Structure formats: C-alpha cells, structure tokens
Structure 1
C-alpha cells in the first residue's frame, strides 16, 4: 500500500516568501541539498502556515507564522521547534528539526524546517483506498487515543521540558487566559458569552489532575499513518500549543473536534476528520477508554468538554477577527464569526445537559 499523499497547492500570494533566500539559508545548515526547491503550500491549518519544499533529492517541510496581528503567546515558531527537539527522544512520533531561523533578513519572520514523514494524513473523509473495515477503524481509533496517553506518560524531567510548566494551577490559568483572549477577540455582532465564562470559572476543578506534556491540538489531521500500515501512527504534527498541563484538558480539546454521526447538521458541517464513520468511538466511549487506559478519573468530564469547545470558539473568533480587520483574505474565514456563535450555543447546550 502507498501513502495517500496530503495535497498541496500553489502558494497564496499573501503567504509567499523569498525562496532564494530560504534556499541559501537551508544549504548553509542542511548538508547535501540539491537544486532549487519547488515550493507549494499545505491547505490545512488556519493558524501557522506550512509549506512543502521539494528538492531534487529530498522533501522538507517549512513552518512559519502568518502575517498580521497575533495573540501574545501564539505563533512562536522557535519555541515550537525547541519543544519538538526536546520531546523527540522520548516520543519518537515527533518530526526531526533540521534547521531554525531567527534572522529577519531571510523572510522577516522566524521559521523552522523539519523532516517530512512518508505517510497518510486523514482529513474530512476516510479514503476508500485505505481499505479499512469497521474493526480496522476501531483499532485506528483506539491507537489514536493510545498515542495521546503515551504522550501524557512522557517523563518531563528526562525530556528536559519541566521548564515549560508553571506548576499547579494550570486549569485556573487556562480558564482565566482564554476568557481574556475571548474578550479581546470580540467583533461587531459576536456573542459575549459571559454566561459561559462565568460557568467555567465557577465549575473549574480545584486542582489539576496531573502535570504532563500535552499536545493541545491532538486531532486525526495532525497525525501521520504509515504508508504500509494505515493502522500505525508514525508521526504527530503541529506542536505549536504543546506545554506542560492537565491531561484531561488535552482530551477535552481533542473532543471539541470529535463530530460523530448523530450530531446536529451544523456541527456536522464543521467536521474535518472522519470521526463519524462506523467503528469510530463516540465521545462518551473515547472518554471511557481514556479513563480506563490512563487510570485517571473521568466521571465528571463535563467541565473539560465545555472548556475544549470554548477554547475552540476563541481560536475561531481570533481567526475571524483577523479576517474582519483585513489581515487575511482567505475566503474560508468569512463564516468563522457564525461558527464562533454556534460554538457558544453548543457550550450552553452541554451545560444544560442537552447534548449526549
């Protein structure tokens, strides 16, 4: 079996960079590169920008931040690269970092370049060419959760990542921080959602469940499946928001994207991974499986589920604000304001016990 290659497209004009400068920089830091790279852009991702660099003898992936206003702690490319380099010896699914650049004379922004995994990335629908039946899909799903649990068991001291954390109080910091980000991202017509913010503040657990490495954006479209075995995950991508924090917050963030077959049509329209197909675990089953395999108490998971949706709502609204201010022209962002309003309503429905 061959990989279902993740498609790329020509680089959008507003996302273009000086290829010759990047090429010269990379040849100073990576031995053996031949020719001039053909550069295309991965269409996925609404935050940082990702490009494929095809040299005559090697393929590389470049990551950089978008132009325009950024949240204070977001889009730190060099931090992401440092986390990945430190984590890779303990968690082999991390791509190898090959070069980092903080020289503004190259493309005016920090960037890094990493290895490209040869494998498949699942997007909205499950490719028939993978030939997965219901039992295969279930094994794929549980393997996906197992890789998250494995990450949560990485020894942070041995990995040299303890400094990423700020100690006890991760949940409280997240509730406070994302609430402030939400208020700062407001645009004309946005839902203030002060009732949701108040509920999160009142219902947050008094203590963190644990302190571990968390990915903070763990989804099927951020993992790479082996070309010769689509049930085996060989890579985990997009470590921008990785930190030391509470593992149930990480799971809650993942479930914000987990659209299942019986969800309402609006939520179905948001689906960007094949979590609806026969064999996939439901959100309730994911929570139960994670609790059983991790040993953590998931009996009162409602707070984490609501917070995960709320955080996604903030991210969507931040992107929409950039669009509304004319800092990006991508037409796909035009509906993000409506999407953020829907997420607020979904949070309320979960709080009211209306969503199973």
Structure 2
C-alpha cells in the first residue's frame, strides 16, 4: 500500500465518510495561535490501518502533515502516550534518517477532545498483515525485508540516547522485572472468563522464576514489526519507523523478542498462523532463528535468554489483544475486528504457556 499526500484515490486513506470527525475549526484556531496554518480547504482524511491510535493527513504551512491522537475512552496504563511519542520523535530524528520528526504536541483536551501531536509526513509503501500483493513479482522481497527489519532494529539499538537528549527516557533499571509485573497487572484487569486468570498466573509465575541477562539499556520501540515501517517502494529500505507511543529505554532483546512474537513460520501452531501480523510465512522469509543469529552478529550481544524473552513478548501480545477487546466491549471503538480479539488474546497466551517448555530447553 502506497501512502501518498495526494488525496484522490489513495488506498492508504479512508474516504471522507469513513474518516472519524473532529472539531477542525477549533484545531485551526489553536494552530494559528501557535504560528501554524492548517488548510481546511483541503479535506482532512484519516489513514487506513491501525487498531487503536488515529492518524489523519492534513496540510499545515503548505506541507502534508500527520495529526496523531489516541482512541476515545478509558485507556490502558502507559498506552497511547502522545507526549512521550512526541518527545522521542523530536529528538531521535537527529540520529536516524528513518525517523519522521515530531513537530508539535498539544496536551489541551479542549482542542479536539484528546491530546494530539503533529508529525512530519513520510510517503512510502506499507506492507500490512500477511498481504504481499503490493510486491507481486518481487521474488527477492522476502529476503530483503528480513534483512531490512533486523538491520533497522540493530541501528535503533545502536543510538546513543545521551547524544539525542533521551538519556532520562523511561526507567531501564529493573526493566524486565517491571515489565513482567506490569503486564501481569494489566492482564488481571482484563481477565474475564474462567480460564484466563489461571492461565495468566501460570505464565507470570514462570517468567518471574527466569534469569535474564543484565544488558546495557538501549532505546526501545516496544512494538517493532513490519507494518510500523514505511518503505521506499523501489529499494524496500525504511523511510520511517512509526508508532512510538510506548517507546522507552531498556533491554534491547525485548524489542527483538517483540518482533519475533509477530514472526510466524509455516510450521507454527494454527494460532500464530492466524495472527497474520506479518507476511513471514511466505516462501523466502527467514526463520526466527535466522533473525536472532543475524541480530546477534550485528550487535555483538549474547542472546541466550531470548527464548524466555519471547515468552514475555507473547505474554504481552496476548494481553494487548485482550485490552483491545475491552475497548470494543466498552464502546470506545466500533471496529468489528475487535469483536474476536478476546479469543485471539487467549489463544496467544496458550501459545506462550506452551513455549515455556521449549524455553526451558533453550529452544
């Protein structure tokens, strides 16, 4: 899918009727007071894709610009943090060419009802889910994309946080223990059903018994996957890495494990096959073990605790789907895709529990 600033016939944008409304006149007055001009003569349209945060394309000071905002309703703790994302994007763009710069943050809910930010627009190709049809005829694409994802993640983890003014981002000390405790707590908040509490407790207790290496903290994206990358359509190199609202500092293997939690293989259980978050079951994509080895080669890190870290990433992913389903139940979102997310979340947690046996064997 090509994301292009031209509104006419753009498959990356929802129609005017599908675009969620906002008080654009009030937004225009707010931006004018801050020295910016939004062109309301051009229709503001919402980007397609995504499961939570809303992204709109508008014209500010003569340039296509992204307005990004969280969903409506009560939000999970620590999620959809526009202020955090703006801070990261406004600094990290100085270090990496594939970071779209954060331009402005507004925490005043009186403008459009929620905090929001403005971000530099980057046009390019987005590969969503398991659909490789935009690259039809590119037999080399799976190998190129596999290498690109690993190299991009390694480049992010190589950034000196102090050099870009992000040395105080997050709390890297005790990061993994806090992640286990935090996701266990979030899981308990959405644990409806007779089997879920016990399943969550089994995984949480197993994770708490594991020994994780102490590594130098790096900047983390915390949801690194293919559809959060905008690509050059010709070279498939990254134009932008987006969706930074959970960015922080911590153990770099957490990001690698997150990527691998989405990285399905042809011989995976049906649950991971159905997840279809990335097209990695297609012929030519690397296997997870290949990804891990290449990452270790690029970074020089020891990754012997990666199997246990992947269990943590699957634990998190299952709970995220439960949270998204809760937003649908509460009416904060109307997207019909959310209706089945409780089952998806529980199935992923079952895979995580099954993976604990393999992790104990070092697989």
Q: TM-score by structure 2 length? A: 0.89
1:82 aligns with 2:76: no
1:195 aligns with 2:198: no
Shift of 1:339: 0.6
Shift of 1:22: 1.8
Shift of 1:164: 1.1
Shift of 1:231: 2.2
Secondary structure in 2 aligned to 1:195? helix
Q: Is the 8 A contact 2:69 2:114 kept in 1?
A: yes
1:272 aligns with 2:277: yes
Shift of 1:24: 2.9
Q: Are the structure 2 counterparts of residues 37 and 128 from structure 1 closer, same or farther at C-alpha, using a change threshold of 3 Å?
A: closer
**Structure 1 residues 295-339: Cα deviation after superposition (integer angstroms, max 9, x where no partner):** 111233211111111011111111112222333222111101101
Secondary structure in 1 aligned to 2:312? helix
Secondary structure in 1 aligned to 2:110? helix
Secondary structure in 1 aligned to 2:162? coil
Shift of 1:216: 0.5
**Structure 1 residues 227-257: Cα deviation after superposition (integer angstroms, max 9, x where no partner):** 4x23211110010111010000111111111
1:218 aligns with 2:224: yes
Q: CA RMSD in A?
A: 2.5
1:208 pairs with one of 201, 214, 220 = 214
Q: Which residue of 2 aligns with 1:290?
A: 295
Q: Is the 8 A contact 1:319 1:333 kept in 2?
A: yes
Distance 2:283 2:35 in 1: 44
Secondary structure in 1 aligned to 2:204? helix
Where has structure 1 moved over 3 Å in runs of 4 or more?
2-6, 10-15, 26-35, 54-58, 128-131
**Structure 1 residues 27-76: Cα deviation after superposition (integer angstroms, max 9, x where no partner):** 44465654534122223222322122257953221111111111232222
After TM superposition, the structure 1 stretch with the greater mean CA deviation from structure 2, 213-222 or 188-197, is: 188-197
Q: TM-score by structure 1 length? A: 0.91
Q: Which residue of 2 aligns with 1:102?
A: 107
Unaligned runs of at least 5 residues, structure 2: 5-9
Secondary structure in 1 aligned to 2:44? strand
Shift of 1:269: 1.8
Aligned residue pairs, count: 352
Q: Is the 8 A contact 1:212 1:244 kept in 2?
A: yes
Secondary structure in 1 aligned to 2:294? helix
Matches within 5 A, 1:227-242: 227=233, 229-242=234-247
Q: Is the 8 A contact 2:46 2:55 kept in 1?
A: yes
Matches within 5 A, 1:1-356: 7-10=12-15, 15-29=20-34, 31=36, 33-53=38-58, 57-124=62-129, 125-129=131-135, 131-134=137-140, 136-189=141-194, 191-192=196-197, 193=199, 194-205=201-212, 207-227=213-233, 229-353=234-358
Q: Is the 8 A contact 1:212 1:245 kept in 2?
A: yes
After TM superposition, the structure 1 stretch with the greater mean CA deviation from structure 2, 271-280 or 338-347, is: 271-280
Q: Are the structure 2 counterparts of residues 146 and 129 from structure 1 closer, same or farther at C-alpha, using a change threshold of 3 Å?
A: closer
Q: Is the 8 A contact 2:38 2:58 kept in 1?
A: no
Distance 1:34 1:109 in 2: 21
Q: Is the 8 A contact 2:265 2:281 kept in 1?
A: yes
Secondary structure in 2 aligned to 1:323? helix
Distance 1:266 1:164 in 2: 35
Unaligned runs of at least 5 residues, structure 1: none
Q: Are the structure 2 counterparts of residues 197 and 301 from structure 1 closer, same or farther at C-alpha, using a change threshold of 3 Å?
A: same
Q: Are the structure 2 counterparts of residues 118 and 329 from structure 1 closer, same or farther at C-alpha, using a change threshold of 3 Å?
A: closer
